Amino acid sequence: MINPISGFSRLSKEEKIEWLSKTYLANNKKAREILTQYWNSNSSLQQLHEEFTENTLTNYYLPFGLAPNFLINNQLYAIPMAIEESSVIAAASKAAKFWGSRGGFKAEVLGTQKIGQVHFMYSGDREKLQYFFKKVKPQLLEAVTPLTRNMEKRGGGVVNIELRDKTDLLVNYHQLHCTFETKDSMGANFINSCLERFAETFQAEAKSHEAFDASEKEIEIVMSILSNYVPDCIVRAEVSCPVTELADHGMSGEDFAAKFVRALKIAEAEPHRAVTHNKGIMNGIDAVVLATGNDFRAVEAGIHAYASKDGRYTSLSHVDVRDGRFRFWMEIPMALGTVGGLTGLHPLSKIALEILQKPSAEDLMKIVAVTGLAQNFAAVKSLITTGIQQGHMKMHLMNILNQLQATVHEKEVLVNHFKTNKVSHSAVEEQFNKLRN
């Protein structure tokens, strides 16, 4: 039986690993070797990584790759991507090449406002609450002046505060629904700080409001927190070309377009397909968000919520063929930053932003959305032509060979063999065994 440990956070990294190895890991020596071999030999860089989070044991590496030749709004980009999945970067690069000769990607930001909410309970007269809110709103804005001063200099700040009655959803539940503009910062800390100040002021002023009776003065603040659902922080990415330029794999452009449209219509209609369809979009989006030090979990949550905004989960991307022209596009919510947080701390995130020519938050939104659309186009194109496994498994070949512990020579022989043969795990294993025997 394993007993709880007290004071784990106060142990040194070495002591944490020693305890972990003895308590949970069968091969103590091997586990310690693996954990310690990922430490960075540069002590200051290692300390920086350890201070990103708590109870750090080691560093967890992901490949940091590059997808070149993205033509976005007539500007050429090489896009850094941090991802472990085979074929994602290759597919994005292939889509970039395809569309680069057809006018490239067009992208625009349609809105940048973000949301935060103060959730509270109030059981009194609703008209009194409305009157109180109108009276106290200027004081709420005044209370956050020390927090908003610098943000306002950059063109951001608090856009609006609304009182929303949510008692149809939950008894006595109301909220202050607050809109913010945070410019090049993702703004989570700024928004949360403002919300907590709103809550303190709102609650304190209620206690002395002359129109409230004793029970109404006791407004209960439940929580104050930003929302990662940002339906007013929207970016649009699009490609288009004459249908005739889509001819591929022996298909005419018209046939390719018709099959592509059917594939998208299925993703729009069938949630099981839509989830996988959108996951392919997120392969591209997450990889760039992660490489630039942004919060990919927040982006994921907000985008998938947006895919359900009409009451049913559906495709994020859409296609239209009209007057001989193929048009493929996507509109998604996304709150990103290029200053603050990990973007200014992680050395690779700083390099990623430099590779992207030091974009503004709006420019980064465009780049990320385009990468998602490119990834989606490449995936659907594969599905309606060769099938997804042909390209994916060829890129996955090296992972299989590493699992089989193939030598350098064996890898060379087998990679050459599978240039002209279909890749599957069983086929690779069979050829590997033949070669080794």
**C-alpha of 104 from chain center:** 23
Q: What is the largest CA-CA distance in the chain?
A: 90
The kind and range of the H/E element at 176 are: strand 173-181
Parallel, antiparallel or unpaired: strands 114-121 and 173-181: antiparallel
Mean of pLDDT over the chain: 93
79/81 Cα distance (integer angstroms): 6
C-alpha to C-alpha distance for 427 and 257, rounded to whole angstroms? 34
Domain ranges of the chain: 8-50, 64-110+234-386, 114-227, 392-436
Provide the percentage of residues in the chain whose pLDDT is more than 90: 81
Q: Which backbone phi and psi does 222 adopt, to 5 degrees?
A: -85, -50
Read off the pLDDT of each residue in 93-104 and give the average, rounded to a whole number. Answer: 97
Q: Which residue has the tokens 């994916």?
A: 392
Residues acting as catalytic residues = 85, 279, 295, 392
CATH number of 114-227: 3.30.70.420
CATH number given to 64-110+234-386: 3.90.770.10
* Amino acid occupying residue 341: G
pLDDT above 70 coverage of the chain, percent: 98
pLDDT tens for each residue of 42-55 = 999 999 999 899 99
What's the pLDDT tens digit per position in 230-274? Answer: 999 999 999 999 999 999 888 999 999 999 999 999 999 999 999
In angstroms, the CA 158 to CA 181 distance is: 6
